[in-house]
Amino acid sequence: MSSEISKSASSQSEPGAPGPPGHMERGSLIVVSAPSGAGKSSLAERLLKRVENLRFSISYTTRELRGAEQHGVDYYFVSEDEFRAMRERHEFLECAEVHGHLYGSREQLVEEMLAGGFDVMLDIDVQGAEQVRRRVQGAISIFILPPSREILEARLLARNLNEPADVERRLRNAGIEVQLYERFDYVVVNDDLDRALAQLEAIIIAERCRPDRQRNRIESIITTFGGASFHA
């Protein structure tokens, strides 16, 4: 992988807005993960409309399109041969097999957005999240937790996209995935979509206020004080 992504990611110099010319910070990588049906994709879609300078990393997948999904908008839909060739060329920042299909985030696309000063959100499973945590220093990881198994099952059945055997497999996998919540920096319980969305937005804004994520702008402000030092 490139050395740039492995560096500690910095966000825009001011929460929700770019800094002054010449003081733009490198973007932050934000990993959002959850069991299938927990609502992470719905939350991600709404979050992109509410938070400025936030971009979405469109994943590559070998599964078929569902419903109104569009190639290049929801996913890049590719054949298994094409996906495996990309993996052999080490083009993915993370990749995993999930529910019988392959998924991956293309590193070059992520790096271009980060270098442009945008925070980049990855909507990925817990396997991919673990890979990103190991490879990217400073990545922000958020786990979306459903309020209960019963509610998760109801959501999976309500969307009517999966056969009963597939729903059961996703529920079994969810039982394993929810046990991994402690590996994440934040946990958001999606019992109410608006509340969960507000919490996600608050996490991103709080992370943007960290000194190390707006260092360029802070230092440019400090220079206006003539380099005066503080003495206790």
pLDDT tens per residue, range 119-145? 999 999 999 999 999 999 999 999 999
Residue showing tokens 């590996």: 183
- How far, in Å, CA of 135 to CA of 5, rounded? 8
pLDDT of 148 reads 97
Work out the angle at residue 177's Cα, subtended by the Cα atoms of residues 176 and 181, and round it to the nearest 5 degrees: 120
pLDDT of 122 reads 96
- Whether residue 10 is predicted with pLDDT greater than 60 in this model: the reply is no
- How far, in Å, CA of 112 to CA of 230, rounded? 39
Domain at 7-57+118-217, CATH class: alpha beta
pLDDT of 196 reads 97
Q: Give the 3-state secondary structure of residue 217.
A: helix
- How far, in Å, CA of 161 to CA of 63, rounded? 13
Residue showing tokens 């010319």: 21
Cβ atoms of 115 and 26 closer than 8 Å: yes
Long-range contacts of 156-160 (CB under 8 A, 24+ apart): 156/36, 156/37, 159/37
Nearest to 129 by CA among 34, 46, 42: 34
Burial of 121 (0-12, 13-18, 19+ CB in 10 A): buried
- Of the listed ranges 98-102, 107-111, 188-192, the least confidently predicted one is 98-102
Q: Could you tell me the two tokens for 213?
A: 């994520």
Task: Label residue 230 by pLDDT band (50, 70, 90).
Answer: low
DSSP state letters, 165-190: HHHHHHHHHHHHHGGGGGGSSEEEE-
Four-CA torsion 165, 167, 172, 178, nearest 10 degrees? 170
Average pLDDT, the chain: 87
Domain ranges of the chain: 7-57+118-217
37-58 pLDDT, tens digit per residue, is 999 989 999 999 999 999 999 9
pLDDT of 228 reads 56
